[in-house]
Chains A and B, each alone.
Chain A
Amino acid sequence: NAGVTQTPKFRILKIGQSMTLQCTQDMNHNYMYWYRQDPGMGLKLIYYSVGAGITDKGEVPNGYNVSRSTTEDFPLRLELAAPSQTSVYFCASSRGQGTYGYTFGSGTRLTVV
């Protein structure tokens, strides 16, 4: 019962570097989400996907890209890291909307220096 698996758990990037945050779920959930959480600010939605091949922007998409080639995987790409992207990133999935609950990954702590 893996649920939602995020890698890596921690990462330090230099300004301008690129990286991909991986997210995989094994529950056959259609909906997947990427959130960032800044201290005291709460979660903010970056991108979400309602199924393979479909992605859409959330509240704070600038500086990020996503893809959803399979139901299981929803990677988040940072192309040119900036200090403002220092945050904790969470991937989540759900079977659908409405009464379905979320399953969250354990988070990735990213620091951009």
Chain B
Amino acid sequence: SQELEQSPQSLIVQEGKNLTINCTSSKTLYGLYWYKQKYGEGLIFLMMLQKGGEEKSHEKITAKLDEKKQQSSLHITASQPSHAGIYLCGADISGNQFYFGTGTSLTVIP
């Protein structure tokens, strides 16, 4: 079973379009991390969310944490080819165990 479910598994969008990736936990979240892997490179840390309702932005990428829904969403505005890659969420669940989602593959068509 997967403690963290990411959706969608893959996404193909036209350049300039907005998109959202979701990360849902089956248990209480105690902090959620978002990462990105560019093709052929390692994971890049994007941001960390700790409190319910917290929202952070990094360039055109915004992430929110909804503690009640046990969910985080990652939103990209006006996508660019440079946004292509695999997006991965990771979370401290129940305070003593860290889990990762399986990732969402994003392709941006110029």
Contacts and interface: CB of A to CB of B under 8 A. Distances in A.
A40 B33 CA distance: 9
Nearest to A104: B100
Contacts, number: 49
B86 interface: yes
Contacts of B97: 106-107
Given A42-B35, A99-B10, A99-B105, A37 B98 contact: yes
Sort A-B residue pairs by CB-CB distance and give the 4 closest, nearest first. A42-B45, A45-B42, A101-B103, A101-B102
Chain A contact-residue range equals 20 to 34
Contacts of B100: 90, 92, 102, 104
Interface in A24-49: 33, 35, 37, 40-43, 45, 48
Contacts of A106: 97
Chain B contact-residue range equals 20 to 34
Contacts of B86: 99, 101-102
B105 A59 contact: no
B43 A35 contact: yes
B9 interface: yes
B10 A58 contact: no
A62 interface: no
Interface in B13-27: none
A103 B45 contact: no
B98 A102 contact: no
Given A40-B48, A42-B33, A43-B45, 19 more contacts: A37-B90, A37-B98, A41-B45, A42-B43, A42-B45, A42-B46, A42-B48, A43-B43, A45-B42, A58-B42, A59-B42, A97-B39, A97-B40, A98-B39, A99-B86, A101-B9, A101-B86, A102-B103, A103-B102
